[in-house]
Amino acid sequence: MTADSPPFSPTPLHDLDYNATKRLYQATFSVMEDKNFVYAWKHRNRTSSVGIWEGGALLGAVLVRGEQLEYIFVSAYHQGCGLGKILLESVLDKHPTLYLIPVKDPRVIRWYETYGFRIIGETITHAGTEICMVRSPNGFCPPGILPPNLPIQLLPRTTARGPCRLLKRKPLRRPPSHSQIGGGPRHG
C-alpha cells in the first residue's frame, strides 16, 4: 500500500495468490476441499476477482466468473469492518449486471438487497434448491445473463416475497422445463 492509495484497496488476485485465497476460503466456510471453489478460481475473471491485503495477509476476496459473483469472503476477524462492501463495490463498478446464488441466510440476502440485488427465482444445484439473485440497472434479469444450463424457476414480476418467506417455501421437485424459463433453443 502506498501513501496515495486508500486503506484496504482491492487488487487483482494472481495465480500465486491461490494458496492464500484457498486458506481464507476454507477458514471462512469451514470446509477442507471444494471442487466448486477450485473451478471458480480456475475460471475467474482476472480483473474483477480481487483481494484486500494488509501486511502480506489476505483479509478478504471476491471471485467473479463471467457475470456471476461466485464467492465473496472476509476473514472472521475483519467481518463487519466494511471489507465486504469494498470488495462488492469494486466488482459492481466493472459489472453493473451480475447474478449470484447466495447462502440461505436471510441476513446475507438482505445485505445483497442493499446493493440492488433482487431475488428472481429458484434453481436446483448440487446443494439442493437455491435462490438466484440478479442486480441490473433496470432491476430485471436481462436476456442472456444466466447460463442456459442453469435451470431457474422464475418468480412472477408481480410477486413481492422477502427472503425469509422465500426460504421457507417447499423446494422444487424437478428442474423446470426449458419453456418454463422463457429461453430459446439451448446451445452448448
Specify the pTM.
Answer: 0.76
Same domain, 59 and 130: no
Same domain, 164 and 112: yes
Same domain, 134 and 89: no
Number of folded domains that form the chain? 2
d(CA 78, CA 61): 12
Same domain, 79 and 102: no
Between residues 149 and 39, which one has the greater pLDDT?
39
HEC-encoded secondary structure of 7-57: CCCCEECCHHHHHHHHHHHHHHHCCCCCHHHHHHHHCCCCCCCEEEEECCE
Judge whether residue 163 has pLDDT over 70: no
For residue 34 the three cell numbers come to 471444494
| pLDDT, tens only, 96-142 | 999 999 888 899 999 999 999 998 888 877 777 888 899 988 777 77
Same domain, 30 and 85: yes
Between residues 25 and 6, which one has the greater pLDDT?
25
Between residues 184 and 144, which one has the greater pLDDT?
144
| pLDDT, tens only, 55-96 | 999 999 999 999 999 999 999 999 999 999 999 999 999 999
Domain containing residue 3: 1-94
Residue 34, domain member (yes or no) = yes
Residue 186, domain member (yes or no) = no
Same domain, 133 and 74: no
Between residues 125 and 34, which one has the greater pLDDT?
34
Q: Please state the length of the chain.
A: 188
Q: Can you give the pLDDT at residue 5?
A: 46
Same domain, 68 and 110: no
d(CA 169, CA 55): 45
Q: Can you give the pLDDT at residue 109?
A: 93
Same domain, 46 and 117: no
Residue 141, domain member (yes or no) = yes
Q: What's 29's domain CATH number?
A: 3.40.630.30
Mean pLDDT of 25-36: 88
% of residues, the chain, pLDDT over 70: 76
Q: Can you give the pLDDT at residue 85?
A: 96
Same domain, 7 and 87: yes
